[in-house]
């Protein structure tokens, strides 16, 4: 569903990703683990077309999107929940979700979305800026999901979120994968969360993937050693 081949990305003269190759199957969740500054956000921005690729290739469901503008990539089936969530603070919860429906004929939020995130139904008339961090994260996932993606990217969804809500988010991601059979790629520093959602775990360090393991074979101590400074 997602195929990334030898991706190089630079900020000006300074290369930040040095040849990333990864794939995600349908009905698979992949976690990309890495400390601060290792290249997780750079990777996701390049996948979404927010940063240009220097070389390499990005395919979504067999279509090359490497040089498409972001909105075309969304139309081809890739959606993104950015780090820090970026909900529109003055729009209501419902209006925030509707921004994901921009190109849809029906602007009605599907019931399935509120079934996944009951708290969003309760708060649908409230302004996004007045939600807790965890509620905003759920809102950002809902907004990405209504574009009906084949590949859903989430950049550090647990950052700054309390443990009980982290569990809710893990449950929702597992439910989404089961219902839709899509590819989910999530960047993380919280290993317990990754172990709750991911079929495979990759480690990024200094803009390179340096380790890969299936969940069932994960050496948690080894991954922790990559995550600690």
Binding partner selected for residue 96 from Mg ion, ligand ATP, none, CB under the kind-specific 5 to 8 Å limit: none
Q: Which is nearer to Mg ion, 45 or 73 (CB)?
A: 45
One residue of 2, 4, 34, 223 binding ligand ATP per CB under 6 A: 34
- Comparison of 77 and 157: residue with beta carbon closer to ligand ATP: 157
- Chain positions 68 to 107 lying near ligand ATP, rule: CB under 6 A, are 83
CA distance linking residue 76 with residue 3, whole number of Å: 14
Tell me how far apart the alpha carbons of residues 181 and 202 are, in angstroms, rounded to a whole number.
21
Paired strand residues for 204: 209
Residue closer to ligand ATP, measured from CB, 42 or 147 = 42
Q: Is the dihedral of CA 155, 74, 50, 211 positive or negative?
A: positive
How far apart CA 190 and CA 158 sit, in angstroms, is 8
- Measured CA to CA, the distance from residue 74 to residue 71 in angstroms comes to 5
Residue from the set 3, 5, 63, 83 that interacts with Mg ion by CB under 5 A: 83
* Contact in structure between 152 and 184 (CB atoms under 8 Å): yes
Strand-pairing partners, residue 92, are: 127
Binding to Mg ion by residue 189, rule CB under 5 A? no
Which of Mg ion, ligand ATP, none does residue 129 bind (CB under 5 to 8 Å by kind)? none
Shortest spacing between CB 183 and ligand ATP, in angstroms: 20
CB of 68 to Mg ion, least distance (A): 23
Interaction pattern, residues 40-59, with ligand ATP; x per rule: CB under 6 A: xxx-----------------
Q: Please name which of 173, 182, 157 lies closest in space to residue 116, comparing C-alpha atoms.
A: 173
Cα 188 to Cα 203: distance, rounded to the nearest angstrom: 10
Q: How far is the CB of 187 from Mg ion (least distance, A)?
A: 7
The site for ligand ATP (CB under 6 A) is made up of: 11, 16, 34, 36-42, 83
Contact residues for Mg ion, defined by CB under 5 A:
40-41, 83
């Amino acid at each position: 569903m997602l195929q990334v081949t030898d991706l190089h990305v630079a900020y000006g003269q300074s290369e930040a990703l040095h040849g990333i190759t990864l794939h995600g199957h349908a009905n698979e969740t992949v976690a990309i683990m890495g400390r601060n500054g290792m290249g997780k956000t750079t990777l996701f921005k390049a996948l979404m077309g927010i940063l240009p690729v220097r070389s390499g290739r990005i395919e979504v469901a067999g279509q090359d999107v490497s040089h498409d503008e972001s909105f075309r990539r969304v139309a081809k089936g890739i959606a993104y929940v950015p780090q820090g969530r970026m909900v529109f603070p003055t729009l209501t919860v419902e209006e925030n979700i509707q921004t994901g429906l921009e190109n849809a004929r029906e602007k009605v939020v599907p019931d399935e979305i509120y079934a996944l995130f009951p708290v969003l139904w309760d708060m649908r008339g409230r302004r996004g800026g007045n939600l807790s961090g965890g509620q905003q994260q759920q809102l950002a996932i809902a907004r990405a999901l209504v574009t009906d993606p084949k590949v859903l990217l989430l950049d550090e969804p647990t950052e700054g979120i309390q443990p009980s809500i982290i569990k809710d988010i893990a449950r929702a991601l597992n439910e989404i994968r089961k219902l839709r059979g899509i590819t989910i790629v999530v960047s993380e520093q919280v290993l317990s969360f990754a172990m709750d959602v991911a079929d495979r775990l990759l480690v990024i360090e200094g803009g390179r993937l340096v380790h890969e393991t299936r969940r069932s074979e994960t050496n948690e101590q080894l991954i922790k050693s990559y995550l600690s400074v």
